[in-house]
Structure 1
């Protein structure tokens, strides 16, 4: 397995991580499954996310956040701060 796959497996250790074959556009499909083999998260990662460590770290953070939200483990104040974050600017008419 390549270093990207190893980084994903290490970063998402409690889950079964599968990184699909390279797509025609250079991206790959990341799939996270539980112990029963049920699909929890599926993402298409582009070439930049697979080759740039800072973008791969963002992917890991996003997947972890989505797992927390899906599992209901995120406190309401955390969700509120994410909604009001500077990352997403509101649309101004």
Structure 2
């Protein structure tokens, strides 16, 4: 789990990443703190998501998106519009 923490720390720099085992079914709490020490994001993930390389990439992408929302650089409605456009495109194919 320490290597996963290091990977997340590198991918989400300058935020401090903390992984805390939580729950009875292998859940893990991921906490991102600003350089000033304020908690910016806390999310619960299944341990399997953090151990699988492809799923870990999705976790990092989701956390990047959540950081952009928390920082005010991306509005949630933009995400919904992008998802709808992607769904419409996949249905057209």
- How does the TM-score come out when normalised to structure 2? 0.77
Aligned partner of 2:4 in structure 1 is 4
Corresponding residue for residue 17 of structure 1: 17
TM-score normalised by length of structure 1: 0.77
Q: Name the counterpart of 1:89.
A: none
Q: Structure 1: where are the runs of 5+ without partners?
A: 87-93
Partner of 1:85: 86
**Greater fraction strand:** 2
Q: Larger deviation: 27-36 or 76-85?
A: 76-85
Change in 2 beyond 3 A, CA 1:11/1:51:
same
Unaligned stretches of 5+ residues in structure 2: 88-93
For 2:29 and 2:6, the matched residues in 1 are separated by 15
Question: For the residues of structure 2 that align with 1:10 and 1:51, how far apart are their CA atoms?
Answer: 16
The residue aligned with 1:53 is 53
Identify the residue that residue 43 of structure 1 maps to in structure 2. Answer: 43
**Count of matched residue positions in the alignment of Structure 1 and Structure 2:** 86
The two structures, once aligned, show a CA RMSD in angstroms of 2.3
Q: Aligned partners of 1:77 and 1:45: how far apart in 2?
A: 24
SS in 2 for 1:84: helix
| Runs of 4+ with >6 A deviation | none
